[in-house]
Amino acid sequence: MSLYQLSKVLYVLNRDDAAKRLWQAEPASLLEGYDLTDEERTALLEHDIGLLYVLGVNGQILMHFAALCGIAWADYIRLMREGVEKYGPVRAGLYAMTTQFNERVAGV
């Protein structure tokens, strides 16, 4: 697992317009410069928010990635919960889930 590399992709995507354009046009080629596992690469290419969350991506950059993928706020929250249900607890980082699966903390 290379959480640093995975996070770095999202950091670059978050702040660099050229990287965003490349991502829209040829997402796989953006990832070429990063040392990612197959699981990480697939999670990015498939916009698997739940898996990215479980892998330990910091929520701040994950939130922006979800927005870039056109995922609405309520769906973003739901996808993270479903990720924990499917893949188990968050494996690294500070953004673990502390509430229950069906808990809608802010009503979404």
Partner 1 sequence: MSLVYCGVCSHAPGITSRAEMADPALRDPFYAALENQRQEIMATKPDALMIVAAEHFANFFMNNMPAYAVGMGESYTGPIEDPDWLKVPLRTAKGNPDLGRRLVAEMLETVDVAYAEEWQFDHGISVPLHFLDPNNELTIIPVNINCQGPPLTPLHRAWTFGEAIRRAADSVPERIALVCTGGISHWPATPDSGKINEAWDREFITRWEANDRAAMLSYTDAETYRDAGQGGFEIRTFITAAAAGGGKGDVQFFAPIPIFAVGCTVGRIEIA
Comparing CB distances to partner 1, the nearer of 13 and 31 is: 13
* CB 64, min distance to partner 1, A: 6
Tokens standing for residue 5: 């590399």
* CB 37, min distance to partner 1, A: 18
**CA angle centred on 20, ends 16 and 24, rounded to 5°:** 170
**Which residues of this protein are in contact with partner 1, per CB under 8 A?**
4, 7-8, 11, 14-15, 53, 58-64, 67-68, 73, 77, 80-81, 84, 94-99, 105-108
Comparing CB distances to partner 1, the nearer of 15 and 86 is: 15
Tokens 């939130």 belong to which residue?
63
CA distance 50 to 80: 4
Comparing CB distances to partner 1, the nearer of 44 and 61 is: 61
* CB 2, min distance to partner 1, A: 12
* CB 7, min distance to partner 1, A: 7
Contact 54, 84 (CB under 8 A): yes
List, as one string, the DSSP characters of 54-77. Answer: HHT--HHHHHHHHHHTT--HHHHH
